[in-house]
């Protein structure tokens, strides 16, 4: 069980320490202090920061009243523009902090509908703080004593962590995201709950009878809408609770749970739910949802629906369809939980795949070259080490080659002009998006030229007219209004065609240039509309039950491709175009839930925010908690101590400190770890005086204890790419080892020579990781991992040994099949180490044997754990891995969810040797067997893979083993 607790703890630590994520070192931060918030922002974001400062103070009294909670101290808010994709994060441990990516969301995302993007984002994340942070009863007492802690890995601190962390931290994801999405919807003009996207998802789920059970929103399913389930159905549950049990229910729930022990969510307040648990309430919500959406379906069905013909449904999310210029082919972006995102090119029917190539994270947009030989697209890559920015690429379909055109330019929605010389794209910068043009004749590295100057607004979907002179696009401001606009590339003028308070998007010129087709939710459903440029009138072209996005007209104007929605995702469909059926009158409409947006802070209000000052790490760096520690040092009494840790809100400085005293040995211990991330290499300092145990040394039945005292200085340089990464590290360690256990007169322990003295060393290493996995994967299934580490111990650097240690490992993943039985994997691991120099002692010998575990570097199944030792070691593993079942189910709202069941057949081989026992092939130990594994989510957050296995060792010392182990990542 200890390993299980550690797994949960590690995940929670990862979530909580997200504030230590490293930012671009070229960012220079400033701070605006308000009454309740510290707003931190880097250069270029002052307008956004002043706006957020005003929004935050407006939102604070609304949400604190809603959730009945006033945080202690200021909430830290960090604005960052390091990604072209939306994101937000809220953490409450060890202090309250919110992180906001300021780039507006794309129209096609679940967040694409809003009145004021920064208000929606801040409201959502601050609701996380106020619903997660409360303390009542026992938790109020423990917080007063210990603060809000992060745990170490000893059992006592793990237990104290569960007893002292904010109890609402341990609620399921649907509770957290549902509460925040509900608050975002209630306190803004739109929010996801009032948008047509969520309504489309619910309507399709009811129409297809494809509604999730409560355990499925409780866990982590691989299929659509996968990660959105907690938001969508968590929101719908919270809305139902507010409607059925009173508008103050959210605050009651947050406060009530904050006085309960972790994971006791099954019984909400009886006086609120009349004895029902969350599973009961969820079933009631599903009944209400069916009634609501059945009424919507009935209303929409009053008029016959526009017929759609399926073009391609091979995948989960098929988007951004585009006809080739001659109409003979179709290209679209395919996203699927079984494999890598790709661009697919088919024939005109959509049935025959002609080409396919991989695509990294992107907005999904595509554009054919005028000659039909290439496809232009944008995709993301890491820029300046840590930023995720999109750039323009082109794929030569004939040669099967992809070429990168720009670097670090932050381009999206790229569309090429009919003459093939210019690309129109959206360019993102510091929370603003604008229209930009790129002249492809400029050479190998053309620079985009920004032609609009909007501030903190969204530009989307630029598209050229057939003659190449005009570009249509949509501008979304922060008052709930969108405008269809035209930019004239010759006159360099920009004008609005019309504005509206509903969502419309994806404008595209018809083949003759007289019409602009676009998608609008004017009727409450995403339908196709057409704007007649001569008559200035707008027509409804489609009437759909669920909805569709991203229209693409055929070159002859006879039909339209759409990305059509069903309860299982988006598919490519075709709709015939018949102008005689277009209507000025609108079809059946659904009631709108949108409300008037709150007035955006005026420039005067933003200007009156307090002046900014240079960011100071000291204000958030001091310790905010402490926890007791208890461990052993081989004496007859426990070692008692305390632990604390901290980091400034930008993660420039982070540290962990512990101190303890051993009554049995009458001595003190301590450890200190400090990381500095002001610079591109991470600099680290570690100082320690701690006991170390070598359990069952050499399988002699004795635990050997020593004290290690030392200081380590190191630097680590990450070289990041989106789907791979290098790590280069190096440093110097001063290390002294002295026995705590009683030694024999000849300096041995149990007959084994042990080392005492100085082991100062220089070390350097490099690692590379490119292994990839997908939602349905049972392990990584392509790519490889490599690692190499060298340590030099020499008397010339103060060591009592002359020794060189080399260690290396290699892992390769090979996907065996994509069709008959997907996600079969062949896994190969080779590892080895050698020590060249002075004789190694007991503590330094390499050991092999036993089942894989976090502490066992050289496993060899079929042989006793660490049963063979030597100066040199070589091991290898070959595994065949295959999925057996995908349950994706759990016991209601309990904190356990079974995702996948899979098995492995394996062969292990290994040998250790030394100067007195040379390597011989016939001395290699070989074991083989099988494991049954299960991917689970426990505690709502921790991903673990428990496994039970059988192994047989075929050589001397081998045995039959039945064992249990726990993987934290395969």
Instruction: For residues 468 and 340, give the distance between their C-alpha atoms in angstroms, rounded to a whole number.
Output: 34
Strand blocks (E) in 440-514: 449-450, 458-464, 470-476, 482-488, 493-500, 504-509
Helix pair 249-257, 46-67: axis angle to 10 deg: 80
Tokens of 930: 């099988």
Does residue 68 have a pLDDT over 60? yes
Structural domain boundaries of the chain? Answer: 2-300, 309-578, 845-970
Spatial separation of the C-alpha atoms in residues 862 and 928, rounded to whole Å: 7
Of 404 and 599, which is predicted with more confidence?
404
Kindly state the average pLDDT of the residues 636-648. Answer: 94
Count Cα neighbours of 738 within 13 Å in the Cβ-side half-sphere: 5
Residue 602's pLDDT band, with cuts at 50, 70 and 90, is low
Residue 521: phi and psi, rounded to 5, are -105, 30
Residue 433: pLDDT above 90? yes
pLDDT at residue 577 greater than cutoff 90: yes
Higher-pLDDT residue of 268, 150:
150
21, pLDDT greater than 90:
no
Q: How confident is the model at residue 6 (pLDDT cuts 50, 70, 90)?
A: very low
Residue 752 — very low, low, confident or very high, per pLDDT cuts 50/70/90?
confident
Helix (H) or strand (E) holding 290: helix 278-300
Kindly report which listed range (147-161, 450-464, 646-660, 702-716) carries the lowest average pLDDT score: 147-161
Residue 251 has φ and ψ, to the nearest 5°, of -65, -40
Q: Which residues of 131-154 are buried (b: 16+ CB within 10 A; e: fewer)?
A: bbbbbbeebeebbeebbbbbbbeb
Going by pLDDT thresholds of 50, 70 and 90, the confidence category of residue 4 is very low
Measured between alpha carbons, how far is residue 76 from residues 27, 34, 89, 677, 758 in Å?
18, 11, 12, 19, 45
The CATH code belonging to domain 2-300 is 1.10.390
Q: What is the CA radius of gyration of the chain?
A: 31
- pLDDT tens for 548-562 read 999 999 999 999 999
| Per-residue pLDDT at 512 exceeds 70 | yes
pLDDT for res 745: 83
Q: What is the pLDDT of residue 8?
A: 38
In percent, the amount of the chain with pLDDT more than 90 equals: 82
* Interval 932-959: pLDDT, tens: 999 999 999 889 999 999 999 999 999 9
State the chain's mean pLDDT as an integer: 92
Mean pLDDT check: name the lowest of 66-80, 327-341, 414-428, 626-640: 626-640
Note if the bond before 122 is cis, omega within 30 degrees: no
Cα(32)–Cα(39) distance, integer angstroms: 5
pLDDT band at 700 (very low <50, low <70, confident <90, very high): low
Say whether 309-578 and 2-300 share the same fold. no
Per-residue pLDDT, averaged over 136-154, amounts to 90
Closest CA to 965 of 939, 933, 941: 933
> What pLDDT band is residue 604 in, cutting at 50, 70 and 90?
low
Classify strands 942-953 and 366-368 as parallel, antiparallel or unpaired. unpaired
Tokens for 22, please give them.
Answer: 């490293």
| Class of 309-578 in CATH | mainly beta
Beta carbons within 8 Å of 603's beta carbon, 6+ residues apart: none
Q: What is the DSSP letter of 590?
A: P
Which of 245-249, 574-578, 699-703, 901-905 shows the lowest per-residue confidence on average (mean pLDDT)?
Answer: 699-703
Task: List, for residues 873-892, the tens digit of each pLDDT value.
Answer: 999 999 999 999 999 999 99
For the residues 565-590, what does the mean pLDDT come to? 93
> 587 with 545: CB under 8 angstroms?
no
**pLDDT score for 9:** 37
Comparing 968 with 887, the larger pLDDT belongs to: 887
Burial grade of 398 (CB within 10 A; 0-12, 13-18, 19 or more) = exposed
pLDDT value of position 595: 81
- pLDDT interval class at 699 (50, 70, 90): low
Q: Within a 10 A sphere around the Cβ of 849, how many other Cβ atoms?
A: 27
Q: What is the pLDDT of residue 7?
A: 35
Pairing relationship of beta strands 803-815 and 724-739 according to DSSP bridges: unpaired
Output the pLDDT for position 155: 76
Among 184, 60, 59, 56, CA closest to 120? 184
What per-residue confidence (pLDDT) applies to 11?
37
Does residue 13 carry a pLDDT above 60? no
Say how far apart CA 92 and CA 125 lie, in whole Å. Answer: 11
pLDDT at 18 over 50: no
Of all residues in the chain, what percent carry a pLDDT higher than 70? 96
Output the pLDDT for position 219: 87
Measure the CA dihedral 161/164/165/168, to 10°.
Answer: 130
Token pair belonging to 699:
């399988």
Q: Would the pLDDT of 903 be above 70? A: yes
Question: What backbone torsions phi and psi does residue 169 show, to the nearest 5 degrees?
Answer: -55, -30
Spatial separation of the C-alpha atoms in residues 858 and 866, rounded to whole Å: 8
- Shortest CA distance to 242 belongs to which of 66, 62, 58, 64? 66
pLDDT at 210 over 70: yes
919: confidence class by pLDDT, cuts 50, 70, 90: confident
Condensed to tens digits (0 to 9), the pLDDT of residues 757-790 reads 999 999 999 999 999 999 999 999 999 999 999 9
Closest by CA position to 726, among listed 734, 736, 716, 735: 716
Q: The whole model's pTM is what?
A: 0.95
Higher pLDDT, 925 or 701: 925
CA–CA distance, 317 with 893 (Å, rounded to integer): 29
3-state class (DSSP) for residue 397: coil
pLDDT of 267 higher than 60: yes
Give helix 117-132 / helix 173-186 axis angle, nearest 10°.
Answer: 130
Q: How confident is the model at residue 16 (pLDDT cuts 50, 70, 90)?
A: very low
């Amino acid at each position: 069980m200890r390993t299980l607790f550690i797994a949960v703890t590690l995940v929670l630590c990862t979530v909580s320490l997200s504030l230590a994520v490293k930012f671009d070192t070229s960012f220079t931060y400033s701070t605006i202090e308000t009454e309740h918030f510290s707003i931190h922002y880097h250069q270029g974001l002052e307008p956004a920061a002043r706006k957020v400062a005003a929004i935050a103070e407006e939102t604070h009294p609304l949400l604190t009243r809603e959730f009945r909670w006033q945080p202690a101290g200021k909430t830290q808010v960090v604005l960052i523009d390091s990604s072209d994709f939306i994101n937000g994060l809220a953490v409450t441990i060890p202090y309250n902090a919110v992180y906001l990516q300021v780039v507006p969301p794309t129209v096609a995302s679940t967040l694409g509908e809003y009145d004021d993007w920064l208000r929606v984002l801040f409201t959502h994340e601050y609701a996380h703080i106020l619903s997660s942070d409360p303390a009542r009863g026992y938790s109020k007492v423990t917080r007063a004593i210990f603060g809000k802690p992060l745990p170490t890995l000893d059992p006592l601190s793990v237990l104290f962590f569960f007893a002292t962390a904010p109890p609402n931290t341990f609620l399921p994801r649907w509770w957290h995201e549902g509460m925040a999405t509900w608050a975002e919807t209630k306190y803004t003009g739109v929010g996801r709950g009032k948008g047509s996207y969520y309504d489309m998802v619910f309507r399709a789920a009811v129409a297809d009878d494809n509604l999730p059970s409560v355990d499925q929103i409780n866990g982590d399913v691989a299929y659509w809408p996968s990660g959105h389930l907690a938001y969508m159905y968590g929101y719908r549950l919270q809305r139902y609770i507010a409607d059925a049990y009173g508008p103050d229910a959210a605050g009651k729930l947050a406060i009530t749970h904050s006085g309960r022990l972790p994971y006791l969510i099954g019984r909400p307040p009886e006086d609120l739910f009349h004895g029902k648990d969350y599973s009961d309430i969820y079933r009631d919500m599903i009944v209400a949802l069916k009634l609501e959406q059945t009424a919507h379906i009935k209303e929409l069905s009053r008029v016959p629906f526009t017929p759609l013909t399926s073009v391609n449904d091979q995948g989960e999310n098929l988007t951004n369809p585009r006809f080739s210029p001659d109409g003979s082919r179709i290209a679209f972006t395919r996203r699927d939980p079984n494999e890598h995102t790709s661009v697919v090119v088919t024939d005109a029917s959509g049935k025959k795949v002609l080409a396919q190539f991989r695509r990294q994270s992107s907005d999904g947009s595509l554009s054919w070259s005028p000659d039909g030989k290439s496809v232009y697209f944008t995709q993301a890559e890491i820029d300046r080490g840590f930023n995720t920015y999109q750039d323009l690429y082109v794929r030569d379909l004939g040669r099967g080659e992809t070429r990168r055109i720009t670097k670090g330019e932050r381009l999206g929605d790229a569309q090429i002009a009919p003459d093939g010389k210019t690309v129109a794209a959206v360019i993102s910068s510091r929370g603003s998006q604008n229209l930009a043009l790129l002249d492809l004749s400029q050479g190998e590295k053309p620079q985009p030229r920004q032609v609009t100057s909007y501030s903190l607004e969204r530009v989307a979907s630029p598209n050229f007219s057939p003659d190449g002179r005009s570009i249509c696009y949509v501008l979304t401001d922060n008052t709930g209004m969108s405008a269809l606009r035209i930019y004239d590339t010759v006159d360099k003028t920009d004008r609005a065609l019309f504005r509206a308070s509903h969502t419309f998007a994806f404008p595209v010129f018809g083949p003759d240039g007289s019409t602009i087709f676009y998608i609008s939710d004017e009727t409450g459903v995403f339908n196709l509309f057409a704007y007649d440029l001569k008559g200035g009138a707008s027509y409804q072209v489609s009437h759909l039950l669920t909805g569709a996005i991203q229209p693409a007209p055929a070159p002859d104007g006879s039909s339209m491709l759409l990305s059509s929605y069903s309860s299982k995702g988006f598919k490519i469909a075709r709709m015939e175009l018949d102008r005689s059926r277009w209507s000025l009158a609108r079809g059946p409409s659904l009631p709108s839930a949108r409300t008037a947006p709150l007035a955006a802070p005026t420039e005067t209000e933003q200007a009156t925010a307090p002046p900014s000052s240079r960011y100071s790490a000291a204000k958030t760096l001091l310790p905010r908690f402490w926890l007791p520690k208890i461990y052993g040092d081989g004496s007859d009494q426990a070692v008692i101590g305390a632990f604390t840790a901290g980091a400034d809100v930008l993660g420039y400085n982070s540290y962990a400190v512990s101190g303890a005293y051993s009554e049995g040995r009458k001595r003190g211990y301590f450890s200190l770890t400090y990381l500095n991330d002001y610079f591109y290499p991470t600099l680290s300092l570690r100082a320690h005086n701690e006991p170390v145990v070598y359990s069952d040394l050499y399988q002699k039945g004795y635990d050997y204890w020593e004290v290690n005292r030392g200081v380590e200085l190191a630097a680590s340089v990450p070289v990041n790419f989106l789907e791979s990464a290098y790590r280069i590290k190096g440093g110097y360690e001063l290390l002294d080892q002295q026995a705590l256990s009683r030694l024999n007169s000849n300096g041995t322990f149990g007959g084994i020579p042990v080392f005492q003295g100085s082991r100062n060393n220089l070390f350097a290493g490099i690692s590379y990781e490119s292994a990839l996995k997908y939602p349905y994967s049972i392990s990584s299934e392509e790519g490889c991992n490599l690692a190499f580490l060298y340590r030099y111990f020499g008397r010339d650097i103060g060591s009592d040994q002359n020794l060189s240690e080399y260690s290396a490992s290699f892992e390769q993943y090979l996907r065996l099949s994509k069709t008959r039985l997907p996600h079969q994997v062949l896994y190969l691991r080779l590892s080895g180490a050698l020590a060249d120099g002075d004789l190694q002692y007991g503590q330094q010998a390499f050991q092999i044997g036993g089942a894989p575990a976090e502490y066992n570097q050289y496993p060899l199944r079929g042989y006793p754990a660490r049963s063979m030792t030597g100066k040199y070691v070589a091991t290898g593993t070959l595994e065949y891995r295959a999925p057996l079942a995908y349950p994706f189910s759990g016991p209601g709202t309990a904190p356990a969810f079974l995702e996948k069941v899979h098995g492995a057949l394996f062969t292990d081989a290994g040998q250790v040797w030394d100067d007195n026992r040379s390597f011989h092939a016939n001395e290699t130990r070989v074991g083989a067997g099988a494991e049954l594994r299960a991917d689970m989510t426990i505690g709502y957050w921790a991903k673990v893979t428990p496994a039970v296995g059988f192994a047989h060792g075929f050589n001397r010392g081998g045995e039959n083993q039945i064992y249990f182990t726990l993987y934290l990542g395969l």
